[in-house]
Structure 1
Amino acid sequence: MVNQSGSPYLWVVKSPISSAVALKRETYNLHVIADHCEDKTRALAYPYVRSVIETPRFIYLDPSHPTHDAVRYIDLIFLPEMQHIQALVVIVERDKEPNEVATWMVKTNLKQEMVQGGIIYDSRANNQ
């Protein structure tokens, strides 16, 4: 889906587990970028966020949300500016329709990515 004039969303896409996931302009401008202006990888990763939601490697419950109203989408991306393959983790809140992107982060190490509630979606398992 493409952003309509006057819409609060930059874009809306379909994910493998929900009807729609959206990125709000306000979330992008005021939280993802402004609150993390020292982290240039967030802006560099923006072109990949939609595809990670549409075709993630894994989706799992966000352990920092005990009520499980949020999930994490994850896949590997290559940022030419950084010269290595990194993980892009996108946090999506499921308590709204459409579901909304809360934030994302680029990670070089996945040791902190705890999967306490189990995997909701595994792209390889779902394609067999």
Structure 2
Amino acid sequence: MAVADETYDSHIIGDHPDDHAREFVSTHVKGVIEEPRYIYYDQNHEENKRLKYIDYVNIEAYGKIQSLVVVVDTDRTPQEIVTWSVRSSTRQEKTSGGILYDSRENKRQSN
């Protein structure tokens, strides 16, 4: 799994110049991919072939623990991290596409 320099510079950071949290959590992205709390299908997975990895991270600059959602495009080789975002709430995260992995159950889920 990789993140292209162009994707990082132009989209993840470049498209969101006022969202400093994206830069603050960049060091946590690898950990969320390696040890996520959940992996779940994007609600439009059939169309965009994306998975979402989520976990909680400590953002020291803000003195807060927040959710970090990392979006991976599985239709590319190698699979590519296409974006990530920091969320203070997970209310917007929809699991209607299905949960693939739950770390508390420590096993892959089937739909």
How does the TM-score come out when normalised to structure 2?
0.91
Give the deviation of 1:123 after TM superposition.
Answer: 1.2
Range that drifts further, 67-76 or 44-53: 67-76
| Contact residue 59 and residue 120 of structure 1 kept, 8 A | yes
Alignment of 1:18-33 (within 5 A): 21-33=1-13
| Contact residue 61 and residue 68 of structure 1 kept, 8 A | no
| Contact residue 93 and residue 99 of structure 1 kept, 8 A | yes
Letter of the aligned partner of 2:54 in structure 1? I
By relative contact order (CA 8 Å, sep 6+), the higher-ranking structure is 2
Runs of 4+, deviation exceeding 2 Å: 64-68
Give the deviation of 1:97 after TM superposition.
Answer: 1.5
Q: Does 1:121 align with 2:101?
A: yes
Letter of the aligned partner of 1:47 in structure 2? T
SS class of match (1:53)? helix
Extract unaligned runs of 5+ from structure 2.
Answer: none
SS class of match (2:3)? strand
Query: What number of residue pairs does the alignment pair up?
Result: 107
SS class of match (2:81)? strand
Partner of 1:63: 43
Question: Counterparts of 1:71 and 1:65 in 2: how far apart (Å)?
Answer: 7
| Contact residue 89 and residue 106 of structure 1 kept, 8 A | yes
Give the deviation of 1:66 after TM superposition.
Answer: 4.2
Letter of the aligned partner of 1:72 in structure 2? K
Question: Counterparts of 1:39 and 1:101 in 2: how far apart (Å)?
Answer: 18
How does the TM-score come out when normalised to structure 1?
0.79
